Structure 1
Amino acid sequence: MDGLNFGDVNWDEMITATGSTLEMMLFSGLFTIILGLPLGIVLYLWGRSNNSFIRVVYSALSFIVNILRSVPFIILMVALIPFSKVIVGTSIGVLGTIPALVIGAAPFFARLVETALREVDRGVIEAAQGMGASTRQIVMRVLLPEARPGLLAGVTITLVTLVSYTAMSGMVGGGGLGDLAIRYGYYRYEKEVMIISVALMIILVQLLQMLGDRLVRHFTRK
């Protein structure tokens, strides 16, 4: 490629940025699952309830989830700067980015969980209820095992989404490959850094998708 000199790229900084991106994705992904999974289960259970009060609470919770899903991540991250400072003591770098990543991704993942649970065969649930299983037993022994392929697909989609979120976080000093691409590739016109950063993020997304697809196929009943 004419005009490009990849020999001038600071590869140590590139490796550090890649590590930061992985760190943001993994930690925010972990907390997203911890928060989003129970939230998705609650949305599923409350959405099927016949209790009028629970239905009202479900509507309010669903509305909040939809709002958080609708706000563009870059705007959400800027709005959450004060919150991030309170929670982790900073609003920049890997640590300062994680709260916004979790708040942005958890509602998204919760909806994927809710959708996966809705796809479970109703007959299996009714059979468990007929045997006297409690709600907790139905969730733990029926819903989650039966919905496992859909849940794994949801985790994969969420992690891929978090990779793109980490790139956007570079606009406000979030660190990682996105920050490197913006600081060097955009502001300093170092196209080599931009190309490598994008290529690394594409490779990361492809690896995540391949791993997720393999796990889904493995746990899908033939």
Structure 2
Amino acid sequence: MLADFFGIFGEFWDLYVQSMKETGIMVGYALLVSAVIGLFLGVVLVVTRPGHIYQNTLIYQILNVVINILRSLPFIILMVAIIPFTKSIVGTTIGVKGAIVPLVVYTAPYLARLMESALLEVDRGVIEAFQAMGATRRQIITRVILREARPGLILGLTIGTISLVGASAMAGVVGAGGLGDVAIRYGYQRWEPNVMITCVILLILSVQLVQSIGTVIAKKLRKR
């Protein structure tokens, strides 16, 4: 059986390499856009909440509800629901390009919550001390809140990346490419269990790599 496994692995080697590249492209682009949007939304959620430096109850409540709604939608349903939006943005709803838009819409609200949690851990006493020294609200955000929250932000980004890897595999159900697509087309539809197992192993290794890198970076930031 082990020989069969390695035989299948060698037979589909080029396919695995190509699917890993596609997964990397999907995750990379979606993560970059989602991180920017998520960090921005996380900052807005924190600074507009009652009692904070840009207190605005209306903006906070609206944003809070919208993020909760988007986070409550399963990825498969979300991906189908925004097909017209995806097509209007990238011109297609299939392949790697077609998967990036729904991945961003799915991941950005999730990252926003993670970023919000990390930013809320910053000691309010530190913020008040900088306010007493005459720091502007923009300086407080960039030089105090974001700087102090860096380890938590990195860990949040790590968790979001892992979630994104899983979502990219689910996108394979609709022909988005990547490891999920290989697992469905070759592992499931052609009934090649070893292909399915290999895709799962590659996904697990990817997650372990992301988690290890994120943990190391967060530890180094905490020591500074």
**TM (normalized to structure 2)?**
0.94
- Which residue of structure 2 aligns with residue 6 of structure 1? 6
Q: Is 1:104 the counterpart of 2:144 in the alignment?
A: no
- Which residue of structure 1 aligns with residue 209 of structure 2? 207
2:69 to 64, 67, 70: 67
Q: Cα deviation per residue 1:74-94 (whole Å; 9 max; x = unaligned)?
A: 110111111111000001111
Q: Is 1:185 the counterpart of 2:187 in the alignment?
A: yes
- Tell whether the 8 Å contact from 1:77 to 1:100 is kept in structure 2 after alignment: yes
Residue type at the aligned position of 1:153: L
- Which residue of structure 2 aligns with residue 138 of structure 1? 140
Q: Cα deviation per residue 1:8-28 (whole Å; 9 max; x = unaligned)?
A: 432111110010001111110
Q: Cα deviation per residue 1:126-164 (whole Å; 9 max; x = unaligned)?
A: 001101111110000000110000000011001000000
Q: Is 1:122 the counterpart of 2:124 in the alignment?
A: yes
- Tell whether the 8 Å contact from 2:39 to 2:112 is kept in structure 1 after alignment: yes
- Which residue of structure 1 aligns with residue 94 of structure 2? 92
Q: Is 1:81 the counterpart of 2:83 in the alignment?
A: yes
Q: Is 1:55 the counterpart of 2:57 in the alignment?
A: yes
Residue type at the aligned position of 1:161: S
Q: Cα deviation per residue 1:175-201 (whole Å; 9 max; x = unaligned)?
A: 100010011111110111101111101
Counterpart-to-counterpart distance in 2, 1:33 and 1:4: 41
2:173 to 146, 171, 185: 171
Alpha-carbon RMSD: 1.7
Alignment map for 1:22-33 (pairs within 5 Å) = 22-33=24-35
- Tell whether the 8 Å contact from 2:90 to 2:97 is kept in structure 1 after alignment: yes
Counterpart-to-counterpart distance in 2, 1:160 and 1:50: 31
- Tell whether the 8 Å contact from 2:46 to 2:120 is kept in structure 1 after alignment: yes
User: Per-residue deviation at 1:219?
Assistant: 0.5
Residue type at the aligned position of 2:158: T
- Which residue of structure 2 aligns with residue 216 of structure 1? 218
- Tell whether the 8 Å contact from 2:42 to 2:113 is kept in structure 1 after alignment: yes
2:157 to 155, 158, 165: 155
Q: Cα deviation per residue 1:86-116 (whole Å; 9 max; x = unaligned)?
A: 0000011111000100010000101111111
- Tell whether the 8 Å contact from 1:41 to 1:114 is kept in structure 2 after alignment: yes
2:38 to 36, 39, 54: 36
Structure 1 unaligned spans of 5+: none
User: Per-residue deviation at 1:56?
Assistant: 2.1
- Tell whether the 8 Å contact from 2:86 to 2:98 is kept in structure 1 after alignment: yes
Counterpart-to-counterpart distance in 2, 1:69 and 1:203: 26
Residue type at the aligned position of 1:46: T
**TM (normalized to structure 1)?**
0.95
- Tell whether the 8 Å contact from 2:172 to 2:178 is kept in structure 1 after alignment: yes
User: Per-residue deviation at 1:4?
Assistant: 3.6
**Which shows bigger deviation, 134-143 or 41-50?**
41-50
- Tell whether the 8 Å contact from 2:50 to 2:56 is kept in structure 1 after alignment: no
- What is the number of equivalent residue pairs in this alignment? 221
